[in-house]
Structure 1
Amino acid sequence: MIAQMKKESLYVRIAKVMEEQIASKTLKLGDKLPSIRTIQKTYNVSLNTVKQAYLELESKSLIEPRAKSGYFVSMASMRKFPLPSVGELKTTAIEKHPEDLISKVFHTLEDPRITQFSLGVPDKNLLPTAKLNKGVINMVRKWPEIGTTYEPMQGNINLRRAVAKWSLVLEGKLNEDDFVTTSGAMNAIFNCLMAVTKPGDTVAIETPVYFGTLQIIKSLGLKAIEIPTHPVTGVDLEALKKVLPRINACCFVTNFSNPLGCLMPDEHKKELVRMLTEQDIPLIEDDLYGNLFFGASRPKPCKYYDEAGIVMWCGSVSKTLAPGYRVGWVAPGKYKEQVIRQKFLHTISSPSLYQEVVADFMEHGRYDHHLRTIRSKLYTNNLKYQGAIEAYFPKNTKIAQPQGGFMLWLELDQKIDTAELYDRALQQNISFAPGRMFSQYDQYNNCMRLNYGLEWNTKLDTDLKRLGKILKTAL
């Protein structure tokens, strides 16, 4: 017993020393901590004691593990601004769709002078463009007639096999026959909704939610119920339960949602799958950002817990490799034949060239190395954006705490209308996504989404400073 107390006191004492270093900013936000072996030698203790000390710090959100890199001082340890508010469950509010605002933002994308904080893709300098171009050339040389014939309706076999191999997070639960290729993740979601709903049906979505999902739902004549979503833990399952009898399908981003960047805990994923399986309600899971995690390992999707085949797991390389290739896929579970029929009706087949290039890159292009590189850069960018916002934006700004992806959600003073300020920012060649775009209702008017997937430089820092000044003048 005495030995156990001594052991406990050792790891607590070590943790306390490091906690004080973090509080005094001797260890700063984003700093790498000494390795476990280094601490072991410094304090002449066992490796297990050091691991316990680090677990103690991690439990307080003071440090966080990074895959194959060690431990780092976490963002949560240094936060000056609080988290954004959680949205409300609205079932009777008057709809006010933001199509005009969406069009205004997207009309700026072709202007190279504008800093595109609004764009939902990573900077081209973060992508392996040269390797992909080489892959295109190699494929054309290898198969001169590639792209001139139809692929099977289910999609390119090499791509489906490569995606199945890369789905290590599912621990071998899927093979190439479980996948259908699509023209990006949005096309996958569209086909899934077409397969499991009919006009007039109701779909549960997050709030705030990616505006593209709202547009698809509206175009199909479906109704949407926006479920309150916590900026850290994701969809509020208790709120979902209240409206579950009215729901025909769910469409959620469980890993690093757009725009909040939240990550649903594993226990919540299990419970979500359980409750939907019990009611035989399909879950369209958009796992577009799952590989862009900042923690020690890739989070599991809901598909991992799906035994009945109700989860339709969607993904693509648009956020990690090549947005313009429009290569995506879905593992539709028991709805596979319906999804294949919908794909045939709308596109017949997917273009073979880019599917082959992506499959080859996954197999031989060191995709894992590329993902580690882009994750590291995005994590660093996130820290720099947060620091700039805390320095330049109004002091009552609220900032989300994304645990992956590259979207940053901000909630500003109630006096600020970001849709109105958008034109003023555009006059200074700065574009962002006003919060009003992320709901079918008239809400989030004092919010905005920023893309931190741009390559960081002094111009970005200056542009954030200018944007902060615009916001302060509106108060």
Structure 2
Amino acid sequence: MSKYEQLMASIRNQINDGVWEVGEKLPSLRKQSSLSGLSLMTVLNAYQALESQGLVVSHPRSGYLVAPKIIPPEYKKTKANYHAAEHIDSNDLIFDVLQTSRQPGLINFGSAYPDPSLYPRTQINRSLATAAKTMPTSAMLDNFPPGNEELRHIISKRYATQGMSVSPDEIVITSGALEGLNLCLQSVTKPGDWVIVESPTFYGSIQSLQKLGLKALAIRTHPQTGIDLEALEVALKTHDVKACWLMTNHQNPLGFTLPLENKKKLATILNRYQTYLIEDDVYNELFSSNQKPLPAKALEHSAMTMHCSSFSKSLVAGFRIGWVAAGSQAKSIQKLQLMTSMAASAPMQLAMTRFLTTKSYETHLRQLRRTLAQRKYSMWKVLNQYMPSDVNITFSEGGYFLWVELPEHINAYDLYLNALKHNIHIAPGTMFSLTDQFEHCFRLNASFECTDEYVEGIKILAELIKQLCKN
């Protein structure tokens, strides 16, 4: 354990033991440095890490104060274990909501991407410019599936830092994670097959299942603890399921990270039923704890687990560079890619490789994690300050989404339409479900700084909710 982690553990224990109470000021950086014998930078790193975990908050000219404890709201367990949908119709809602989010001048709580200002655009653009200038004539062939060899080695080494042995030969570079996820589905299913998803789930999975003519089993999923593993096993017993498309870390839209014990159980269950796991792990770098959470792939060394991720959420959205650690399906996915998109962009692969070979990525990630954690906590506080008392707001560590549950008689789509009149955009819960179960919910992007504009946006949302409650 490093020195700053030791200091963190000591302060965390003191807070838990009541030595420092809520709202009380911790020793200043200089005083803590003197008390502990550690450098100012070590103390600062410890305080910032505690802040990213929601244990302390920083205030200008006041230093670091002990944060209020987040008590998760109570959620009723739904009666149905799962919902079976033989015919999927995502209709026009998802398309309309996504298109509307592009309108200029919006307070865009509905965006799926982090605040663009958090990306290191200058460094990335410099890498792209250099790659374009120095790209050899053989670049297109060199970057055909499975993709740029050096980039695959870099990704393989990043797996190794988590104790995972993933060969570069197993990795296929894709045009973003969504292409990888779709290729995984195509490689292990045919039209009419059953596929398991969470409920609620990422809307992209609903669209993919519809496009490929697949049938869905949407499994009951809790905002804090994740997918109901008992319900999952019931579905596997009663249906011939070919694959599961699941998010185990910082799930979109709920935000939870599946506890490690549950990931182990998940891996064991799927191995027992010999069911493919398509693990959507695009938010894996956006953790706020000391340690990056393991994917389920790390816990079950099965060739039937395909781990998908990308750099879109952690580095830059526009490059569309993702990958699949494809297990036994690596060759099949390469063939499918050649028949569809042919390959991920060669200049983008080269630019990404160039940037990742510098130290800039890790520096950027540390700052990004801290900023996202601080902003998410700040927005959660503002929401709790202005929202009606019967509105539940789910807070979970990591990522940048907050899941908001309104009283059951309120339709969040009505709120979405009313909010647009005030140039405020949200993502209504209907986007994330095959049923009307989450009509009273919406997802909120908490990656933006709580400026006066965003606080005013939250106040307006709160007033609109109050009006809907009255009506």
TM-score between the two structures when normalised by the length of structure 1: 0.85
2:228 alignment partner in structure 1: 236
Classify 1:288/1:74 alpha carbon distance in 2 versus 1 (closer, same or farther; 3 Å).
farther
2:342 alignment partner in structure 1: 348
| In 2, Cα distance between equivalents of 1:296 and 1:408 | 21
Structural mapping, 1:242-261, within 5 Å = 242-245=234-237, 246=239, 247-261=241-255
| In 1, Cα distance between equivalents of 2:362 and 2:54 | 28
| In 2, Cα distance between equivalents of 1:467 and 1:296 | 34
Q: Which amino acid aligns with 1:400?
A: T
Classify 1:432/1:294 alpha carbon distance in 2 versus 1 (closer, same or farther; 3 Å).
same
| In 1, Cα distance between equivalents of 2:363 and 2:197 | 33
| In 1, Cα distance between equivalents of 2:190 and 2:147 | 25
When structure 1 is superposed on structure 2, of 82-91 and 210-219 the one drifting more is 82-91
Aligned residue among 119, 134, 144 for 1:127? 119
1:269 alignment partner in structure 2: 263
| In 2, Cα distance between equivalents of 1:310 and 1:255 | 19
Contact 1:200 1:223 in 2 (8 A): yes
Aligned residue among 160, 163, 181 for 1:189? 181
1:45 alignment partner in structure 2: none
Aligned residue among 21, 24, 27 for 1:26? 24
| In 1, Cα distance between equivalents of 2:14 and 2:189 | 53
Q: Which amino acid aligns with 1:19?
A: G
Contact 1:204 1:225 in 2 (8 A): yes
Aligned residue among 130, 144, 147 for 1:152? 144
How far residue 40 of structure 1 moved from its aligned partner, in angstroms, is: 11
Aligned residue among 431, 437, 443 for 1:443? 437
| In 1, Cα distance between equivalents of 2:16 and 2:414 | 48
**Is 1:398 matched up with 2:396?**
no
Runs of 4+ off more than 6 Å: 32-35, 93-96
How far residue 282 of structure 1 moved from its aligned partner, in angstroms, is: 0.6
Task: Report SS of the residue matched to 1:312.
Answer: strand
Task: Report SS of the residue matched to 1:228.
Answer: strand
| In 1, Cα distance between equivalents of 2:332 and 2:86 | 33
Aligned residue among 452, 458, 465 for 2:459? 465
Aligned residue among 68, 73, 87 for 1:82? 73
**Is 1:217 matched up with 2:209?**
yes
How far residue 308 of structure 1 moved from its aligned partner, in angstroms, is: 2.4
Contact 2:198 2:246 in 1 (8 A): yes
Structural mapping, 1:44-193, within 5 Å = 63=55, 77-79=69-71, 82-87=73-78, 88-91=80-83, 97-143=89-135, 145=137, 149=141, 151-193=143-185
2:5 alignment partner in structure 1: none
How far residue 152 of structure 1 moved from its aligned partner, in angstroms, is: 2.6
| In 1, Cα distance between equivalents of 2:383 and 2:104 | 24
Q: Which amino acid aligns with 1:363?
A: T
When structure 1 is superposed on structure 2, of 97-106 and 129-138 the one drifting more is 97-106
Structural mapping, 1:274-293, within 5 Å = 274-293=268-287
2:60 alignment partner in structure 1: none
Structural mapping, 1:293-304, within 5 Å = 293-304=287-298
| In 1, Cα distance between equivalents of 2:27 and 2:247 | 32
Task: Render the CA deviation track for 1:380-423: whole Å, top value 9, x for unaligned.
Answer: 11111111111111111111122211111110111211111211
Task: Report SS of the residue matched to 1:325.
Answer: coil
1:8 alignment partner in structure 2: none
Aligned residue among 311, 323, 332 for 1:338? 332
When structure 1 is superposed on structure 2, of 268-277 and 181-190 the one drifting more is 268-277
Contact 1:86 1:229 in 2 (8 A): no
Structural mapping, 1:300-449, within 5 Å = 300-449=294-443
How far residue 188 of structure 1 moved from its aligned partner, in angstroms, is: 0.6
How far residue 84 of structure 1 moved from its aligned partner, in angstroms, is: 4.6
Classify 1:15/1:135 alpha carbon distance in 2 versus 1 (closer, same or farther; 3 Å).
closer
Contact 1:394 1:468 in 2 (8 A): yes
| In 2, Cα distance between equivalents of 1:96 and 1:443 | 15
Classify 1:175/1:17 alpha carbon distance in 2 versus 1 (closer, same or farther; 3 Å).
closer
Classify 1:96/1:213 alpha carbon distance in 2 versus 1 (closer, same or farther; 3 Å).
closer
Contact 2:54 2:377 in 1 (8 A): no
When structure 1 is superposed on structure 2, of 168-177 and 370-379 the one drifting more is 168-177
Task: Render the CA deviation track for 1:228-259: whole Å, top value 9, x for unaligned.
Answer: 11222211111111111312211110011001
Task: Render the CA deviation track for 1:62-99: whole Å, top value 9, x for unaligned.
Answer: 949xxxxxx99567x144x6155455423357977443
Task: Render the CA deviation track for 1:203-246: whole Å, top value 9, x for unaligned.
Answer: 11111101111110111111111111122221111111111131
Contact 1:254 1:285 in 2 (8 A): yes
| In 2, Cα distance between equivalents of 1:104 and 1:374 | 30
1:67 alignment partner in structure 2: none
How far residue 330 of structure 1 moved from its aligned partner, in angstroms, is: 0.4
Task: Report SS of the residue matched to 1:308.
Answer: coil
When structure 1 is superposed on structure 2, of 81-90 and 177-186 the one drifting more is 81-90
Task: Report SS of the residue matched to 2:173.
Answer: strand
Q: Which amino acid aligns with 1:82?
A: P
- Compute the RMSD of aligned alpha carbons: 2.9
How far residue 15 of structure 1 moved from its aligned partner, in angstroms, is: 4.2
Contact 2:89 2:210 in 1 (8 A): no
Q: How many residue pairs end up in the alignment?
A: 436
Classify 1:429/1:83 alpha carbon distance in 2 versus 1 (closer, same or farther; 3 Å).
farther
Task: Report SS of the residue matched to 2:309.
Answer: strand
Contact 1:184 1:318 in 2 (8 A): yes
| In 2, Cα distance between equivalents of 1:362 and 1:290 | 17
Task: Report SS of the residue matched to 2:18.
Answer: helix
Contact 1:140 1:146 in 2 (8 A): no
